[in-house]
Amino acid sequence: MTAQAPTIEQNLLTQTLSRPSRSLWRDAWHRLLRNRAAVVSGIIILIFIFVGIAAPVLAPHNPLKVHDGKGYLPPAWVKEGPTGKSGDPAFPLGTDTLGRDVLSRTIYGTRVSMVVGIIPTIIILVIGVSVGLFAGYRGGRVDNLLMRFADIIYAFPDLLFFIIVMAALRETPIGRLLNGLLLLFVALSLVNWVGLARLVRGQVLSLKEKEFVEAGRMIGASSIRIMLRHLLPNTLGPIIVSTAFRIPGLIITEAILGYLGIGLRPATDPNAIFITSWGALMLDGQAALNSQPWVLLTPAICVALVVLAFNYVGDGLRDALDPRLAGTE
């Protein structure tokens, strides 16, 4: 551990001396590419996104097709499932209660779940980070006002807020857009940005008293520059961790909303864009745990993979963006 200290200093020295023209971000990108776990994880995420986009091509069956008499089939390699049926090579991961192909449903589920995980996260990041930075850095009245406003939103119980919003607005035209996804995005973002804003603000409050910020101010750097160049990179650790957690959190929230009967609207049209989600699959699987555990396992493994992938990418990003950690691996 202690041996690291000189390395960092040397690095900082070399950085400032030999590569003054390179931007922080480009530097970070290079460091990120050197992190093998992060690269592999990034590829996994890209694969999931690709699967989501190319679902109609990849899925062996139509995810809505009911195969009569083929319900409860275990995965192809299982000789005898809990209900006494054996696997069928036509359905590699088995079928659900109605005889719909689990693999195809999982593939289609990728689409909804990636969208539900990523889009609100972007909205949350943009709003949460900017409000948090601004409030924390400015302090005083602005901080007070923003944080008290945040208090009101924060004081709502998340789940309760979703339920009320969904129950109230679900049957309106807005609630019906994109199978109800739009309303879900808005509700999820509205509730979640506050937590992030508070987290960032907390970090900024402690950082802005630190020497490097003082130094930045002394040499006359603009507020925006200080926020973006000095404060933001230093708050990235918690932001990235919370984001890496938020994405699967959102995917699971969607599942829980389904459990409560206010999730995504199911599609019956085989050409619909959003048909099912991992969350919905997990629900099916949990309900029928005794007779078809694989319906639960498949989406659960997918969610776990996404979590791991985002974690590693997150770790990699943080390290890459942290100037003090530069080149330590």
Stretch 94-123 residues interacting with another protein (CB under 8 A): 96-99
CA distances from 210 to 213, 222, 234 (A): 6, 17, 11
Residues 195-234 that bind another protein (CB under 8 A): 195, 198-199, 202-203, 205-206, 209
CB of 287 to another protein, least distance (A): 5
Nearer to another protein, 56 or 82 (CB): 82
Among residues 102, 146, 165, 313, the one that binds another protein under rule CB under 8 A: 165
Q: How many helices (H) and strands (E) does the chain have?
A: 14, 0
Q: With the C-alpha atoms ordered 249, 255, 257, 262, is the resulting torsion angle positive or negative?
A: positive
Among residues 40, 266, 273, 327, the one that binds another protein under rule CB under 8 A: 266
Residue 154 touches another protein, criterion: CB under 8 A? yes
> Rg (Cα) of the chain, in Å, rounded?
24
Residue 88 touches another protein, criterion: CB under 8 A? no
Nearer to another protein, 54 or 160 (CB): 160
One DSSP character per residue, 83-100 reads TS----TTSTT-B-TT--
CB of 185 to another protein, least distance (A): 18
Residue type for position 241 = V
CB of 139 to another protein, least distance (A): 5
Binding mask 28-67 for another protein (x = CB under 8 A): ------------------------------------xxx-
